C-alpha cells in the first residue's frame, strides 16, 4: 500500500497547531486519521506522541537540540552559529528549520517527495542507532529528510526527534478523534453535521469582527445551534470513547489500538487482551477526609500500608522479566535485584503483578524516605546504588496468572491468589493488609503506619475488581487534614516561569506557574504561582530544564489568565505542598462564574520524574480536596464552639 505524503500530514499538523479551540483541533485530527491509509495510522499516532514506538518499548529518538541544529545546517548551507542565533531568537527549533529552509543556501542533488513511511523509518533508525558512529548516522539520516522537505515539513521533522511536536494534543484528544471517526462510520454522527473545521475555514475567509463589536441576534442563534451540535457529537462519541479508553487501559499502545480501529472498526478492539510484556495502566485512588467517612463509604474493607516508593508493575514471561513504571515506561534495567527475585519468588510461569518498591533498611527494619528511593531511578551506576540502597518490593495486586485474567475478580479473591504465588525471600513480599470494620480500628492502623515513617494507608473495597486506568472509590487513600489546612501534596504541571529577582537573578528563574490536569477536556488549568521551596541547586536545575522548552505563545492545552515571563511546553511535573485551597479569580482550575481554585502559600517539594502531565493531580481532585477541606474546617469550628460553650458552663 502506498504511504501518505508527509506534506499532507504536515499541513494538518499546522492546522491543528493554529486551531482556536480544542473542538476544532479534534475535528482536524479526526479528518487526518480518516484520510490516513491503514498502513500509516500507527505511525501517525506515534508521531503525534513524539515517539517511534509505544512508551513501554523505551525507544526514544534521543536527539538533543545541538544535533538537530547540525542537521539543519548540513541541509541548508547555513552555519551552526547562524542556526543557533535564529533558534535563540525565536525559541523553537522547528520554526528555525522552517525559516532556514525557505532561504536555504544550497540545493540538494537528490530530492524526493517525503512519505510518512520514509520519515518514520529514518526517525526509527535514529532511535535504534547506538555505539560508535551513531551520532554521525543520526545527523546524516536527519539531513536526508531536511534535503527533501518543504519548509513546513521541516518544522515538524525538527520537532519530532525532540519529543515535543508542540500541537497541544495528548492521548485523550487522540482517543476523542478516534471515537468521532468510528461514530461517523456507524452513522451515529450524521456526515452532514457541520464540523468546527468548516466553521474555522469560514472565519478565516470572512475575517473576525473588531474587538468589542457586539454579536447580532443571528450570530447568537448560530452560536447556540453550534453548541447543540457539539453536544450531540459528544453524546454520540462518548460511549465509543469509553470503549477505546478501556482497551487502552489494559493495552498501553495507542498506535496499535488506532490500527485495530482503522482495520476493523469497533470490532477491531476484540483483539485486545492482556499479556506479559504489555503494561496495564494502573488504577488510582480517591480521597476522603477521615476514617469515619471511609468506613461509611466502604463498610468492612481491606486496609493496606501506603508505601512511599516506586509503584511498579512486574511482568513475568518465563525467564523474561519486565518492570514498568506507573507511566508504563520500561524501567527493568534499573532494578536488577527485583528481576532476579521475580524469577525465583514468583511461582507462576506467566503473571502480571503490581506493588510498591522502596529502599528498606533490613538491619533497622526502617523504610527510607522517597528522596532516598528516587536515587535508584537511574540508567548509570545501577549496581552501585543497588548495593547502597537495596529495594524491597511489597506486592498488593495481581492481574494475570498463567493466562488467566484476574482483573474482574473481587479484591479478596485476588489477594488469596497473590498470597499463594509468592515464595519466601528477601526482596518480594506481600504488602501489609488488615481487614477493618470500624473507624477506630482504621484510625489506629493509620497512626501505626505514620509512626513507621509511611505516607498513610489505603482502604480498598473487598468486592471491587481491578479498574485499570481509572480513579474510583474502590481505593481510598487517607492522609490526615487538621483544622481545614491541606496536609496532602499535589502533583502539578509547570506551564510557565518568571525571571528571578534579587538573589535569584543569577539563576534566571524566580517562580513557577503550575496547573492541574483537566482529564475531561485534556487541558491544563492554572492553580498556583510558586516561589518557595526551591534550593539554589533546584533553581539551576529547573532553569536548565525549562529554558529548553520555552515557547513564544501560551501552550494550546493551557488555560490561564496570568502571563509569565516565559511559557513552556507542559512536560515537567512537580510535587507541591500548600496550606490550603482557596477561591481565586486569577486561576482557571475549576473556574465557574469567574472564580476558580488556587493554592494558598504553595511550596515546591520535588520534581516528579516518574510522572507526566496526564497523570498529574486532576482539577476534579483539587475540587474534591477543597470540599473535604471546607468540611474539616467547619467540623473544627463546630468543635471549637462546643468546647468554648462547655468551658463557660
What percent of the chain is predicted at pLDDT more than 70?
86
Helix (H), strand (E) at residue 397: strand 391-401
Q: Which three cell numbers stand for residue 504?
A: 535569584
Coil, strand or helix at 124: helix
Q: In 3D, which of 556, 295, 590 has the Cα closest to residue 443?
A: 295
On the question of pLDDT at 215 being above 80, the answer is no
d(CA 290, CA 293): 6
On the question of pLDDT at 521 being above 70, the answer is yes
On the question of pLDDT at 370 being above 80, the answer is no
pLDDT at 436: 96
Residue 552, burial from CB neighbour count under 10 angstroms (0-12, 13-18, 19+): exposed
When pLDDT is averaged across residues 532-560 and rounded to a whole number, the result is 84
What percent of the chain is predicted at pLDDT more than 90?
46
pLDDT confidence band for 49 (50 / 70 / 90)? confident
Q: In 3D, which of 492, 498, 600 has the Cα closest to residue 539?
A: 498
Helix then strand then coil, in percent of the chain rounded to 5, is 45, 20, 35
CATH topology of domain 284-478: D-amino Acid Aminotransferase; Chain A, domain 1 (3.30.470)
pLDDT at 197: 54
Higher pLDDT, residue 551 or 254: 254
On the question of pLDDT at 237 being above 90, the answer is no
Using alpha carbons only, give the angle 11, 16, 17 rounded to the nearest 5 degrees: 95
On the question of pLDDT at 637 being above 50, the answer is no
pLDDT confidence band for 366 (50 / 70 / 90)? confident
Higher pLDDT, residue 406 or 163: 406
Burial 40-75 (b: 16+ CB within 10 A, else e): bbbbbbbbbbbbbbbbbbebbbbbebebbbbbbbbb
pLDDT at 99: 93
Residue 557, burial from CB neighbour count under 10 angstroms (0-12, 13-18, 19+): buried
Q: In 3D, which of 517, 19, 521 has the Cα closest to residue 234?
A: 521
Higher pLDDT, residue 481 or 616: 616
pLDDT confidence band for 167 (50 / 70 / 90)? confident
Which range, of 43-47, 149-153, 577-581, averages the lowest pLDDT? 577-581
Using alpha carbons only, give the angle 105, 108, 111 rounded to the nearest 5 degrees: 135
Output the average pLDDT for the chain: 85
When pLDDT is averaged across residues 478-491 and rounded to a whole number, the result is 64
On the question of pLDDT at 470 being above 50, the answer is yes
Range 51-162: architecture per CATH = Orthogonal Bundle (1.10)
pLDDT tens profile 315-340: 999 999 999 998 888 989 888 999 99
Which range, of 187-196, 203-212, 227-236, 535-544, averages the lowest pLDDT? 203-212
pLDDT at 550: 86
Indicate which residues carry an active-site annotation: 306
CATH superfamily of 490-632: Nucleic acid-binding proteins (2.40.50.140)
> Please, are residues 382 and 415 in contact by the beta-carbon 8 Å criterion?
no
pLDDT at 380: 66
Q: Which three cell numbers stand for residue 46?
A: 506515534
Instruction: Return the residue matching grid coordinates 471517526.
Output: 181
Q: Where are the domains of the chain?
A: 51-162, 171-206+216-271, 284-478, 490-632
Whole-prediction pTM value?
0.77
Coil, strand or helix at 313: strand
Count Cβ atoms below 10 Å from residue 646 Cβ, excluding itself: 8
Burial 604-635 (b: 16+ CB within 10 A, else e): bbbbbebbbbbbbbbbbbbbbbbebbebbbee
On the question of pLDDT at 108 being above 70, the answer is no
> Please, are residues 43 and 117 in contact by the beta-carbon 8 Å criterion?
yes
pLDDT confidence band for 47 (50 / 70 / 90)? very high
pLDDT at 287: 85
Higher pLDDT, residue 199 or 345: 345
Q: What is the DSSP string of 333-357?
A: GG-HHHHHHHHHHB-SSEEEEEEEE
**For residue 508, what are the contacts with CB-CB under 8 A and spacing of at least 6?**
499, 500, 543, 547
Amino acid at each position: 500500500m502506498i504511504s501518505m505524503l508527509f506534506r499532507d500530514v504536515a499541513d494538518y499538523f499546522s492546522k491543528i497547531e493554529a486551531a482556536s479551540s480544542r473542538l476544532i483541533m479534534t475535528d482536524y485530527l479526526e479528518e487526518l486519521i480518516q484520510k490516513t491509509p491503514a498502513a500509516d495510522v500507527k505511525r501517525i499516532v506515534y508521531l503525534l506522541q513524539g515517539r517511534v514506538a509505544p512508551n513501554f518499548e523505551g525507544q526514544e529518538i534521543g536527539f538533543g537540540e545541538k544535533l538537530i541544529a547540525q542537521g539543519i545546517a548540513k541541509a541548508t548551507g547555513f552555519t551552526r552559529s547562524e542556526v543557533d542565533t535564529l533558534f535563540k531568537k525565536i525559541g523553537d527549533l522547528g520554526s528555525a528549520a522552517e525559516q532556514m529552509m525557505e532561504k536555504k543556501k544550497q540545493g540538494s542533488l537528490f530530492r524526493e517527495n517525503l512519505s510518512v513511511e520514509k520519515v518514520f523509518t529514518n526517525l526509527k533508525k535514529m532511535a535504534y542507532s547506538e555505539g560508535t558512529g551513531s551520532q554521525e548516522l543520526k545527523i546524516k539520516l536527519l539531513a536526508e529528510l531536511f534535503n527533501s522537505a518543504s519548509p513546513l515539513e521541516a518544522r515538524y521533522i525538527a520537532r519530532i526527534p525532540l519529543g515535543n511536536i508542540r500541537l497541544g494534543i495528548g492521548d485523550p484528544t487522540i482517543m476523542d478523534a478516534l471515537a468521532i471517526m468510528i461514530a461517523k462510520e456507524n452513522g451515529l454522527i450524521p456526515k452532514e453535521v457541520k464540523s468546527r473545521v468548516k466553521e474555522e475555514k469560514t472565519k478565516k475567509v470572512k475575517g473576525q469582527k473588531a474587538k468589542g463589536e457586539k454579536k447580532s441576534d443571528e450570530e447568537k442563534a448560530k452560536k447556540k445551534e453550534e453548541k447543540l451540535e457539539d453536544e450531540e457529537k459528544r453524546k454520540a462519541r462518548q460511549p465509543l470513547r469509553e470503549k477505546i479508553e478501556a482497551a487502552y487501559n489494559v493495552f498501553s499502545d495507542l498506535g496499535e489500538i488506532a490500527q485495530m480501529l482503522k482495520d476493523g472498526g469497533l470490532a477491531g478492539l476484540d483483539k485486545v487482551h492482556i499479556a506479559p510484556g504489555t503494561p496495564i495502566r494502573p488504577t488510582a485512588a480517591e480521597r476522603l477526609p477521615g476514617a469515619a467517612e471511609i468506613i461509611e463509604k466502604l463498610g468492612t474493607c481491606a486496609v493496606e500500608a501506603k508505601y512511599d516508593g516506586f509503584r511498579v508493575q512486574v511482568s513475568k514471561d518465563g525467564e523474561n522479566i519486565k518492570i514498568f513504571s506507573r507511566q508504563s515506561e520500561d524501567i527493568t534495567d534499573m532494578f536488577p535485584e527485583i528481576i532476579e527475585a521475580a524469577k525465583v519468588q514468583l511461582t507462576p510461569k506467566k503473571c502480571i503483578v503490581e506493588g510498591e518498591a522502596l529502599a528498606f533498611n533490613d538491619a533497622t527494619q526502617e523504610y527510607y524516605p522517597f528522596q532516598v528511593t528516587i536515587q535508584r531511578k537511574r540508567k548509570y551506576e545501577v549496581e552501585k546504588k543497588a548495593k547502597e540502597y537495596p529495594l524491597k518490593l511489597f506486592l498488593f495486586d495481581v492481574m494475570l496468572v498463567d493466562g488467566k485474567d484476574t482483573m474482574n475478580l473481587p479484591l479478596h479473591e485476588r489477594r488469596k491468589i497473590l498470597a499463594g504465588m509468592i515464595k519466601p525471600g528477601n526482596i518480594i513480599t506481600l504488602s501489609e493488609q488488615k481487614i477493618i470494620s470500624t473507624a477506630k480500628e482504621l484510625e489506629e492502623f493509620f497512626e501505626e503506619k505514620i509512626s513507621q515513617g509511611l505516607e498513610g494507608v489505603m482502604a480498598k473495597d473487598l468486592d471491587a475488581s481491578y479498574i485499570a486506568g481509572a480513579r474510583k472509590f474502590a481505593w481510598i487513600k487517607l492522609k490526615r487534614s487538621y483544622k481545614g489546612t491541606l496536609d496532602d501534596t499535589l502533583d502539578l504541571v509547570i506551564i510557565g516561569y518568571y525571571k528571578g529577582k534579587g538573589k535569584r537573578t543569577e539563576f534566571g528563574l524566580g517562580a513557577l506557574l503550575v496547573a492541574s490536569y483537566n482529564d475531561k477536556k485534556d487541558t491544563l488549568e492554572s492553580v498556583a504561582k510558586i516561589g518557595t521551596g526551591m534550593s539554589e541547586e533546584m533553581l539551576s536545575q529547573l532553569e536548565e530544564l525549562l529554558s529548553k522548552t520555552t515557547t513564544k505563545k501560551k501552550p494550546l492545552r493551557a488555560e490561564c489568565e496570568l502571563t509569565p515571563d516565559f511559557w513552556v511546553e507542559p512536560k515537567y511535573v512537580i510535587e507541591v505542598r500548600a496550606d490550603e485551597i482557596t477561591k481565586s479569580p486569577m486561576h482557571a482550575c475549576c473556574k465557574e462564574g469567574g472564580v476558580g481554585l488556587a493554592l494558598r502559600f504553595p511550596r515546591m517539594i520535588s520534581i516528579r520524574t516518574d510522572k507526566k502531565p496526564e497523570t498529574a493531580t486532576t482539577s476534579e481532585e483539587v475540587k474534591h480536596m477543597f470540599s473535604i477541606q471546607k468540611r474539616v474546617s467547619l467540623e473544627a469550628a463546630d468543635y471549637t464552639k462546643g468546647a468554648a460553650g462547655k468551658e463557660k458552663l
